[in-house]
Amino acid sequence: MHNFILLIRRFFNLILFLSLEIVCIVLVSGTQTIQGNDITSSANAVAGVVYKKQSDIVEYFGLRKMNDSLINENARLRQLVSSFKTLDPVKDSIIHKEWRGGDSVKKYVRYADFVYHTARVINNSTSLPDNYITLNIGSKEGVARNMAVISGSGIVGRVEHVSAHFSSVLSVLSSKQKVAAKLKDGLTGYIVWDEKNPDILLMTDIPQQAKVQKGDSVFTSEYSIFTPDILIGTVENINVNKKTGMQLLYLRSSTNFRNLQYVYVIENKMAGEKKQLEDSINVKTKP
């Protein structure tokens, strides 16, 4: 307290001067004179700059929360779209019921039930023969082996290892991974990586007579682990092997593997039933 009093005494004149200046500014700014208007205008301009900087800072620190919200909303919309894509209309050959406005009855058969889990990439590699991506979600969030992983722009890979809170994804940029794909006309082939450029993928098994042009889009097929019709990339170059008569397509990947931040892990609720059935068939057909 004694030191505070000494400080006041030492700077008394300066404190008094500043106090009177503030009082004068407040009194003048409250009048309708030119000086008062100038002071008010300058104060508003300064306050505007301060509020804008404050808003920018608050917005910057809220970007992650906003981004997470958008990612979750995208996952919900993707799941909604997938629910329609996995319904196949087929003619009912058992029940013959008259339907007004048509001569056939249709029913819908569901062959998949997809759930999208949002995840953040916490580790990623692109320069190895077999590249892996680490995600911040694991079995406690419903992630399991062999689930497909996509980004907002294309395919990413397949879940390979899972712990309680993390999962490791085998990237499409791997010598161990082949992805079933199709061209816009429905012609199918396989997507592989040549272990060189993370921006370029290869599509194999395309007959020479197939009409393919640069710029054509390539999508996932119904036979891959991914949901169908996800963009893989666009044709950038075409090579023809004269010995085999097959075309090799060089694709510009739609996914930027160097800058992956958020992805979706796709859970197919009906995958277990499908695999169990296929495994039972394989066991019966073994000699």
Between vectors from CA 221 to CA 211 and to CA 173, what angle results, nearest 5°? 95
Least confident of 12-21, 74-83, 93-102, 154-163: 93-102
Q: Which helix (H) or strand (E) holds 280?
A: helix 271-285
Integer distance in angstroms from the first to the last C-alpha of the chain? Answer: 98
| Residue numbers of the domain that contains 247 | 179-255
Asked if the structure places residue 111 within a domain, the reply is no
Where helices occur in 62-131 by DSSP H, the ranges are 63-85
Strand segments, DSSP code E, in the chain are: 87-91, 106-110, 114-124, 130-135, 148-150, 155-162, 167-174, 179-183, 188-192, 200-207, 217-220, 231-241, 246-253, 262-268
More confident residue, 39 or 264: 264
pLDDT band at residue 173, thresholds of 50, 70 and 90?
very high
Cα–Cα separations (whole angstroms), residue 227 to 3, 49, 70, 242: 74, 49, 21, 34
CATH number at residue 222: 2.40.10.350
How confident is the model at residue 192, as a pLDDT?
Answer: 95
How confident is the model at residue 59, as a pLDDT?
Answer: 60
Evaluate if residue 277 carries a pLDDT over 50. yes
Instruction: Find out whether 82 and 227 touch, Cβ atoms under 8 Å.
Output: yes
The SS3 call for residue 276 is: helix
Asked if the structure places residue 202 within a domain, the reply is yes
Distance of CA 68 to the CA centre of its chain: 11
Asked if the structure places residue 220 within a domain, the reply is yes
Evaluate if residue 238 carries a pLDDT over 80. yes
Asked if the structure places residue 229 within a domain, the reply is yes
Asked if the structure places residue 236 within a domain, the reply is yes
pLDDT band at residue 106, thresholds of 50, 70 and 90?
very low
Asked if the structure places residue 226 within a domain, the reply is yes
Long-range contacts of 75-78 (CB under 8 A, 24+ apart): 75/116, 75/117, 75/118, 75/264, 76/116, 78/114, 78/116, 78/264
More confident residue, 249 or 19: 249
Instruction: Find out whether 95 and 238 touch, Cβ atoms under 8 Å.
Output: no
With tokens 């106090």, the residue in question is 19
Asked if the structure places residue 154 within a domain, the reply is no
Token digits of residue 164:
């309680």
Query: What are the counts of helices (DSSP H) followed by strands (DSSP E) for the chain?
Result: 5, 14
How confident is the model at residue 249, as a pLDDT?
Answer: 93
Mean pLDDT for all residues in the chain? 77
Please choose, from the candidates 161, 156, 83, 145, the residue with its C-alpha nearest in 3D space to the C-alpha of residue 121: 156
Asked if the structure places residue 191 within a domain, the reply is yes
Query: What integer is the mean pLDDT of 166-172?
Result: 94
State the Cα–Cα distance between residues 248 and 208, nearest whole angstrom.
9
Q: Which helix (H) or strand (E) holds 14?
A: helix 12-29
Scored b (16 or more CB within 10 A) or e, 100-131 reads eeeeeeeeeeeebebbbbbbbbeebeeeeeeb
Give me the phi and psi of 130, to 5 degrees please: -130, 105
Sign of CA dihedral 212, 218, 222, 228: negative
